[in-house]
Chains A and B, each alone.
Chain A
Amino acid sequence: DAKTTQPNSMESNEEEPVHLPCNHSTISGTDYIHWYRQLPSQGPEYVIHGLTSNVNNRMASLAIAEDRKSSTLILHRATLRDAAVYYCILRGFGNEKLTFGTGTRLTIIP
């Protein structure tokens, strides 16, 4: 599986946007970029995924670089409930498993 690199931790103020970066320089053409998050004492939760184009859903936006070697998860207005570990995962088409790294621990400051 291609590897992703994320900062270990980030902090953001409540009600401000958050940009969580992910580098994946060895991404292949069929790899989808998935983001999951894990709140304290919970199982991981799907956030968003994309292939080439930027994606938006009710939780977040995903901005994918033109060369696909990096992506950014954008939380438009952070709340305390968004404090979690965020995982950026590459998943090849037909590859059923998710390969988690250590993710980015996001702390929201009230």
Chain B
Amino acid sequence: DTGVSQNPRHKITKRGQNVTFRCDPISEHNRLYWYRQTLGQGPEFLTYFQNEAQLEKSRLLSDRFSAERPKGSFSTLEIQRTEQGDSAMYLCASSLERGENTEAFFGQGTRLTVV
């Protein structure tokens, strides 16, 4: 297992288009997280899944954003009607629930540029 994988690594899209990103977590990890990071800032939490259930969503996740994890394995993050303000690095992370604070493993991210 090579860790958390995100595709594509880079995406350039025109304003108003829809985009979808994919995250493949570490295989035995039951928790999956999405974060967004803009230049000079730390990552901001968007949402997380335990298995296929989406358990928490940030207020940052507007109606144009939707995330799924249909079989409790890979996840997709879709942004509809993209805006220039959506330009950011989108990071996925996964972890294994062990009943205490556990480490999250991050992917390298998908960099979105909306032109």
Contact = CB atoms under 8 A, between A and B. Distances in A.
B20 to A, nearest CB: 19
A102 B39 CA distance: 10
A91 B101 contact: yes
Nearest to B4: A43
Interface string A56-100: 000000000000000000000000000001010001010011111
Interface string A37-51: 000011111100100
B40 interface: yes
Given A44-B106, A96-B31, A97-B33, A32 B56 contact: no
Contacts of B104: 44, 46, 98
A97 B103 contact: no
B42 A43 contact: no
B101 A43 contact: no
Given A96-B48, A96-B55, A103 B106 contact: no
A32 B109 CA distance: 26
Nearest to A34: B101
B110 to A, nearest CB: 10
A46 B103 contact: yes
Interface residues of A, number: 21
A32 B44 CA distance: 19
Nearest to A91: B101
Given A96-B55, A96-B56, A97-B45, A46 B105 contact: yes
B93 interface: yes
Contacts of B40: 102
B42 A100 contact: yes
A84 B105 CA distance: 17
Given A43-B107, A43-B108, A99-B45, 6 more contacts: A34-B101, A41-B108, A44-B104, A46-B105, A93-B101, A96-B55
Interface of A: 32, 34, 41-46, 49, 85, 87, 91, 93, 96-103
